[in-house]
Amino acid sequence: MNRLNKYILLFALAFALQQARAQQTVQFSQYMFNGLVVNPAYAGYKEDWTLNLASRLQWAGIDGAPRTNTISVDGVLDPDSKNAALGFLVTNDRLGPENNTSFYGNYAYRLRLDDEDTKRLSFGFGAGLVQYRIDGSKFSPIDPTDGGIIGNENTLIADFRLGVYYTTPSFYVGASALNLFSKPISGANTLVIDPVPHVYLTAGTVIALSNTIDIKPSAMLKGDLKSPAGLDLTTYLLFDKKLWLGASYNTGVNINNKYNQYKGVDKNNTITAIAQFNINGFLRFGYSYDFSTSALATYQSGTHEVSLSISFRRKQPRVISPRFF
């Protein structure tokens, strides 16, 4: 298959999945260990300044398949009150000749809800810039007289996000809206899909099964309110507060019967196996593998994702609740 047909097919497939499953925003299977990716109010949840790295290769084996890399850092500004927090998020998302880079600064104000400081309600705001780039040199026309299909295209867009996040030592629930008031600043062109607002609803809990085993079920509902939403259902087992082993199921949910043109997209399901290891009190490593149940499964060898988290502890020891999320 020549490169032109290959990229047209790849773009068509990715666009169809984005429209049908509300995946215009970047996605990670291990989002629950770095909530800043989907909610600006998550900033400061772990209190200590924490660095998170994640890399995702989707549809391995397909040339030009989506690759997503992100780096974030967040923490509270005042270690005594722990009310205000900052978070910074940089993401690079590639799909064939398309290469998008974003930077967000996030601020969260965390309300203390009890005297023991075990319950917090956080309100978050994020603002950023997203650069969309398309490299025309990666297209190869069938007819040599056609010349280049397109040149290099660049579009810079300002973007905003809002969120709210409630946590206890064993429970969390959050809601956020991304791609709010997105507006081109320069280089607007018709080749870039206009960002549309996306809503995320997340919740999870940790339940002790024994002195050494905990179970952590969680769920995330995500959508753009114009097409079927995506639903992630995840369950982990935590062994001795060190090793997480879990599985996630992702499917489409048509929450509005108005959109019957998307009938059947809920069959494009994904099953994910996830492992996380707390190497010590401040270092965590994770790996996940996605199995697709759609027709695409015969053309690729799954999706791989790795993550690394490093917390920078303050010199003075502090007594804080366990951070399971």
pLDDT of residue 324: 74
In a domain, 5, yes or no: no
Sign of CA dihedral 42, 172, 26, 160: negative
pLDDT of residue 7: 46
pTM recorded for the entire structure? 0.84
pLDDT of residue 130: 92
Nearest alpha-carbon partner for 224 in 203, 269, 194: 194
In a domain, 12, yes or no: no
Write out the residue range of the structural domain in which residue 135 sits: 23-311
Tokens of 106: 């996030």
| Burial (Cβ within 10 Å: 0-12, 13-18, ≥19) of residue 103 | middle
Host H or E run for residue 14: helix 3-21
Average pLDDT by consecutive 10-residue portion of the chain (325 residues)?
Answer: 45 44 66 91 94 87 81 94 96 87 97 93 96 75 57 84 96 95 73 80 95 95 83 94 93 67 58 91 91 64 89 67 71
In a domain, 18, yes or no: no
As a whole number of angstroms, the distance between CA 109 and CA 128 comes to: 18
pLDDT of residue 72: 96
pLDDT of residue 320: 59
Nearest alpha-carbon partner for 65 in 296, 248, 322, 278: 296
In a domain, 14, yes or no: no
Tokens of 257: 């019967």
Total structural domains in the chain? 1
CATH number for the domain spanning 77: value is: 2.40.160.40
Contact of 233 with 242, CB cutoff 8 Å: no
In a domain, 118, yes or no: yes
pLDDT of residue 12: 44
In a domain, 135, yes or no: yes
